[in-house]
Amino acid sequence: MDNRCTPISDLTEKSHDWMIKIIVMEKSNIFPAKDQGSLFQRFMFANEKNETIQAIAFNRDVSHADNKLQLYHAYYIGNASISPITDARNQAGSLPYQLTVTKATFIKAATNAKEIQFEDHFPITSFWQLDKYKNSDVDRFNILCAIIQGFPETIIPTARGPRTIRRFVAVNPECRPMIFTMWEPFVYIEGIQLMNMIHTNPVILIIRPKITAFHAIDITTRPNTTIVLDPPLQQAATMKIWIDENRSYIHKVINEKLYEKDKQQPVPPLQTQIRPISQIISSTPQMKHFWIKGMPLIVNLNQRFFSPTCPTCNKSTGALMDVEFDCNFCDSKNKIPRPKAKVQLNITDDTGFLSITAEDRHAETLLGFTGSEIYERYLKQDPIPIQRINEELQRQTLLCEVRSYWPPQRQYTPLYFLTAFIPEESAGETLSDQLAQTTPPTLLTGPTSALSNTAEETVSDTNVTEIPASSTSLLAEMSSSVKHNLEPDFSQVTKHQKLD
Ligand SMILES: [Zn+2]
């Protein structure tokens, strides 16, 4: 029968009288479709050369397909309808086609000629390699992680109406905890399953997630993501041992919210990701997230270097600093504003300059003063020493991650906000030296004095990477055992972490 089979890669929408021999490598739950009353189930078929093609069953064919096609079993499949996938975001397999499985589709069990190498089918990407996938809808990669905390379901407005999401905290031995946002329809099945067993810290394989920048860096589901609970991978077993041996680290991630934006560490961009400033200014449409490299300088001397901010939600307020106000963003009442450090500065490279705004910890690190210190000086009419700060700033080149924002009332130029920065080089004993010593991963903590007054958000740079010693050897062991599955610089990146 095998000699009657066509290679998967030969299939096109014009194929007829064909048969392929495949293994079912992915099988989703039966999900409700967006329009009421209809159902669908997704599959991924792979051949021995690891060519893959996605398949789907709808409505009354779902239970048939669900019964016939068992996960990790081999089958001959023939004459399912083949439709081309025109939008790359929807392509999950290696071929831009999708099979539709119905009761008329030929399905016959086959014997497995070769044992399945799961590690080859699902190479795992390091958490430290995810930055390059930020906001991409087309890159396909896999993540292995343990889920250690779940938050209540929430409904959020989107352009296509309200959607239900649930956020989780995902960790792995690389100590870069992240928020994992699960969207419909996964929240209805996988979300409930995970919540029911959250106390066991379940290990999951996330196939084809998307990486976003909402919490600096985080994981979300895409419509064609597959979530595999307890995947049959050697690394999954190793990760369970790691979890057991690192309970105190897990508690620390939860208690100190190490997954939050403020506590995440930026990863330097690839050289090719750094944009000339002239390109940013002339780009249409405006780039939303980008890296630039240049010299920082405070040019606008008429700044207050702080702005009144809601102490609960951190949003700006027009209230006077000494007047109680009701926040319109979070509904908290009778609050006295908190002085948030804020600085507008120019970043200049060979091609031009960009005026960007840094806030909170970024501003405190650049200025060397906390928001409260700046406000106290303002009250005493003792301005912060801008000239001295500028001298320090000019001694360094900063790699800046910037987000652009186009407020409705602004017509010609967007606003630019600093979302992360890394000093690239320095001369003498400067602020950047102190920062560079911890590069990577802790870059933005800054002088301890800069944090002494932010009672609710106190961070210390030792918190971020402190982890029980026993995990270090395990991590090394794990990274060597999975090396062939990871991208080449994985082991290099883990070395940089200096876990002990
Ligand atoms: Zn508020």
Question: What pLDDT score does 272 carry?
Answer: 84
Question: What pLDDT score does 278 carry?
Answer: 93
The pLDDT averaged over each successive group of 10 residues in the chain (500 residues) is 88 91 94 83 91 94 95 93 92 94 94 78 92 89 97 88 94 94 95 97 97 87 95 94 94 92 77 91 83 95 93 88 89 92 96 95 94 95 94 93 82 85 60 39 33 33 35 40 36 35
| 52-58 and 97-100 strand pairing | parallel
Helices (DSSP H) in 216-334: which residue ranges?
A: 234-245, 247-255, 277-282
From the CA of 315, how far away is ligand 1's center (Å)? 6
Q: Cα(158)–Cα(436) distance, rounded to whole angstroms?
A: 40
Which residues make beta-bridge pairs with 229?
204
With residue 107 as reference, give the H or E element that holds it. strand 106-110
Question: What pLDDT score does 493 carry?
Answer: 35
Residue 480 burial class via C-beta count within 10 angstroms: exposed 0-12, middle 13-18, buried 19 and up: exposed
**Max CA separation in the chain (angstroms):** 89
Q: Cα(346)–Cα(185) distance, rounded to whole angstroms?
A: 45
Q: Cα(292)–Cα(433) distance, rounded to whole angstroms?
A: 20
From the CA of 379, how far away is ligand 1's center (Å)? 24
From the CA of 12, how far away is ligand 1's center (Å)? 55
From the CA of 23, how far away is ligand 1's center (Å)? 53
467 contacts 243 by C-beta, under 8 angstroms: no
Which residues make beta-bridge pairs with 167?
181
Question: What pLDDT score does 310 carry?
Answer: 92
From the CA of 133, how far away is ligand 1's center (Å)? 32
Question: What pLDDT score does 425 carry?
Answer: 56
Q: Cα(46)–Cα(53) distance, rounded to whole angstroms?
A: 7
From the CA of 310, how far away is ligand 1's center (Å)? 5
Question: What pLDDT score does 289 carry?
Answer: 85
Task: Establish whether the linkage from the previous residue to 441 is cis, with ω within 30° of 0.
Answer: yes
pTM, two decimal places: 0.66
From the CA of 325, how far away is ligand 1's center (Å)? 10
How crowded is residue 91: how many other Cβ atoms within 10 Å of its Cβ? 20
Q: Which fold has domain 271-439?
A: OB fold (Dihydrolipoamide Acetyltransferase, E2P) (2.40.50)
Q: Cα(353)–Cα(281) distance, rounded to whole angstroms?
A: 9
From the CA of 262, how far away is ligand 1's center (Å)? 18
* Closest to 390 measured CA to CA, from 435, 346, 447: 346
Q: Cα(132)–Cα(1) distance, rounded to whole angstroms?
A: 44
* Closest to 434 measured CA to CA, from 500, 347, 368: 368
Question: What pLDDT score does 142 carry?
Answer: 96
From the CA of 364, how far away is ligand 1's center (Å)? 21
* Cβ-based neighbours of 251, under 8 Å, separated by 6 or more: none
51 contacts 9 by C-beta, under 8 angstroms: yes
> 2-116, superfamily in CATH?
Nucleic acid-binding proteins (2.40.50.140)
* Closest to 202 measured CA to CA, from 245, 231, 233: 231
Question: What pLDDT score does 499 carry?
Answer: 35
From the CA of 316, how far away is ligand 1's center (Å)? 8
User: Collapsing DSSP states into helix, strand and coil, what is residue 387?
Assistant: helix
> 122-261+479-496, superfamily in CATH?
Nucleic acid-binding proteins (2.40.50.140)
From the CA of 290, how far away is ligand 1's center (Å)? 29
In the chain, ranges of CATH 2.40.50.140 domains = 2-116, 122-261+479-496, 271-439
Question: What pLDDT score does 280 carry?
Answer: 92
Task: Establish whether the linkage from the previous residue to 285 is cis, with ω within 30° of 0.
Answer: yes
